[in-house]
Amino acid sequence: MRKNKMTMSKTIQELEPKAVWKNFANLNAVPRPSKKEERVIQFMLDFGEKLQLETIKDSVGNIIIRKPATQGYEKRKMVTLQSHLDMVHQKNNDTDFNFDTQGIDMFIDNDWVRANGTTLGADNGLGVATIMALLESTDIPHPALEALFTIDEETGMTGAKGLKADILQGEILLNLDTEEDDEIGIGCAGGIDVTATRKYKKKSPSKKDTALEVTVKGLKGGHSGMDIHKGLGNANKIMNRLLYLGAENYNLRVAKINGGSLRNAIPRESKAVVVLPKTKKKLKKFQSHFEQWIETIKQELIITEPTLEISINKVKQPKSVLPKEVQTKLLNALYAAQNGVYAMSAAFDNLVETSNNIARVEVDKGKINIACLTRSSVDSGKIDLANSLRAVFELADCKVSFSGDYPGWNPNPDSAILTVLKKEYKKIFKSEPNVAACHAGLECGILGQNYPNIDMISFGPTIKGAHSPDERVSISSVQKFWKFTLEILKNIPE
């Protein structure tokens, strides 16, 4: 296996543009899950210092590296190039992988680079690698560059939030975190974490009850912002539907639920341990109905989730179950809670304005924990939906808290750097770019609070399946992205 990994790493480093892929391979050898970025922070410090460039680590762990302008570009405006160091850590259930200690195992699949059973880290590693290639270049013309590598973008944007208002010097900010190579981003959604918790007194099940484990898996998952409109299955909602039907029709009792993982990832898997009153006839009837419910759900999702799997198997008797009243309120609340698109934008065609992702459901050992991520490009809409969720979960006697609130990025159609990008894109690729706002959370909204006069824009290569083990990046689009980036830097105004 070691030999295969080394060979594949070498193959990826030989892709064009070599300067970008080499740095991406080196970066992906460093474990960098969100909130555990110590090693990648040191990696970037070593990188900047080895180049003998001004290299700074700020108070929260962001890295800033500055490079002087090349000859003839000294009078051009300084450009801040920005990407985040952390990556979403998601893996398939049957993949043996430790994000805290292992580098990403990559392979080439026609025009795509993928990872073996895990997220790839192209979001936002390709942006980081591109900036690294520019910093170490000796033959690329460019104005003065300021690289900003932020931490913890994926789970709170604490790096952007912690960046002081007097540290950046650039007048133009190029955010390299957009995921379609024909798109120029001029706005994004804000977000807020909604968390519902409750404690309960455990109740012992009857020793005569039958214990079963319900498993939902095989869903695609994906980015809880960029993919929320695709009608993908949410493992937590599917599981709750099955438990609700079982409780309503067969007095099913819930012992444990473990569904989903990260707030910014649409949940792909969920497991629950339940018990049923033990009568052979009733159990057989339940299994028959359960198979019918499974088939109904599969047919509903046959187009968007063709590999959905739902199974039920006998397991060891659990030590406790939820009290019936607590269970009823919990299942009702999860059924009623908004998941998916809540409102579409009136300002932009086909843009989701407000949404929610029921990302994590944990029930065990006397505690309930439900984690959601609510997004909106309209701040009042974000708070309105968050309050709606709070009302639902408070009806289930949960304590509800809001945290991690961050603003959206208001579009500026009169941006000077937007004019440059539109002109260069049309000149190089003989077509018009798609100028758009997105439903993901970019750091531009937060950075704009402390730097209101900086002219910001976002673009990047084509990345599919971000925040899921199906994440992949198009090799040809990286070539396109690199060419576009070089032309933009040549045409930065004075």
Q: How far is CA 434 from the centre of its chain?
A: 22
Residue 227 annotated in active site:
no
Catalytic pick among 37, 86, 146, 305: 86
> For residues 111-121, b (16+ Cβ closer than 10 Å) or e, as one string?
ebbbbbebbbb
- The packing angle between helices 122-136 and 18-28, to 10°, is 120
- The beta-strand segments (E) located in 321-437 are 340-344, 352-364, 367-376, 399-406, 434-437
**CA atoms within a 13 Å half-sphere pointing along the CA-CB vector of 55:** 15
Catalytic pick among 37, 146, 153, 455: 153
Query: Which residue reads 């484990």 in tokens?
Result: 213
* Residue 463 host element (H or E): strand 463-464
Q: Which three-class secondary structure string do you get for 408-432? A: CECCCCCCHHHHHHHHHHHHHHCCC
Which two three-digit tokens encode residue 130? 């591109």
> For residues 183-202, b (16+ Cβ closer than 10 Å) or e, as one string?
bbbbbbbbbbbbbbebebeb
Residue 447 near residue 456, CB atoms below 8 Å: yes
Closest CA to 315 of 276, 265, 268, 362: 276
SS3 445: helix
d(CA 192, CA 174): 25
Residue 487 annotated in active site:
no
Q: Any idea which residues carry the catalytic annotation?
A: 86, 153
